[in-house]
Amino acid sequence: MKSLQLAVEQIKKDFPQKPVLLREYNYNSKVFDEKPNPKYLFRGEEIYQTTRSNYHRLTISDIEDQKLREYIFKLSFSLMPIIKKDFNLDTLDINDPNYKRLTNQVGAFLQHYGFPIVWLDFTEDIEIAAFFTSYKNNTGKGRIWIVETQNLIKTGEKIIKLDGTVAKRPTLQKAYALMMPNAKPDFQNPKHFKAEKIEFNISADDVKYFDKKHLLYTDSDEISDFIINYIEQNEDNDLKELLFKIKNGLKQ
């Protein structure tokens, strides 16, 4: 099995990144516009038996699950005018179907701030994916998934570009999010998603070479500060342990 550094060089050669035009929904004009997106998206991880969202890995009661959904929806609504600063919230009625869709999309950002949601993280930068497969990986082995963005669009998957906003973490990570519906919770299942993967050994030299811990920093992150304040002002006894963990993680 090759090293991580050799694997990254192979991926750069076999899957050269370039922009492609894909249709994106414009919530202000309510039409689809063609915008440049990366041809490939990458995800680095340890070699797990399944690749599921944080939400699908979570074990909680039905009461906690309902509370969590409500909490995330309300938080997402509060975050909407901050993350989507170019979006005029007054133009969208709460009964408009696009209202819930937009709130769900804003909720995708919360993955980067500790909330368990039904989205899976990807990046357009192969070296960022390499960092995430090596960071705190004690197994000495890892993998990188490669998926063609256009294929996700063609098969009707919901994918969101998360960079380019005031949300510092996803912007630094050049992040995208792929929705993992309950009917298709495992990215590794070929019946659910079509993707390539490359597996490799990870050495101490690889970890040092791809060290990008600054991608996790939340200093001077407007979204991180907002979430901390929101949790402190909106307590929920059923979610007390989870919210405490999220808040403390953001303060580190």
Q: Give the rounded distance of the alpha carbon of 172 from its chain centre.
A: 12
Largest Cα–Cα distance in the chain?
55
Question: Residue 206 and residue 221: Cα distance in Å, rounded?
Answer: 29
- pLDDT of amino acid 24: 67
Amino acid, single-letter form, for residue 155? T
Look up residue 27 and give its two tokens.
């919530």
Domain ranges of the chain: 4-251
Q: How far apart are CA 146 and CA 129, in angstroms?
A: 10
Which parts of the chain have pLDDT scores under 70?
Answer: 24-32, 85-100, 252
Sign of the CA dihedral 60, 82, 44, 216?
negative
Compute the Cα dihedral for 94, 95, 98, 104 and give only its sign.
positive
Give the residue among 78, 75, 84 at the shortest CA–CA distance from 117.
75
Q: What is the pTM of this model?
A: 0.89
- How high is the pLDDT of residue 90? 52
Cβ proximity of 127 and 9 under 8 Å: no
Separation between Cα atoms, residue 121 and residue 193, nearest integer Å: 14
Structure tokens at 174: 């050049």
Give CA separation, 197 vs 7, 15, 41, 146, 213, in Å.
10, 12, 12, 6, 24
- Residue 33 has what pLDDT? 74
Tell me what pLDDT residue 164 has. Answer: 77
Rounded distance between C-alpha atoms, residue 39 and residue 19, angstroms: 6
Q: For residues 66-89, b (16+ Cβ closer than 10 Å) or e, as one string?
A: ebbeebbeebbbebbeebbeebee
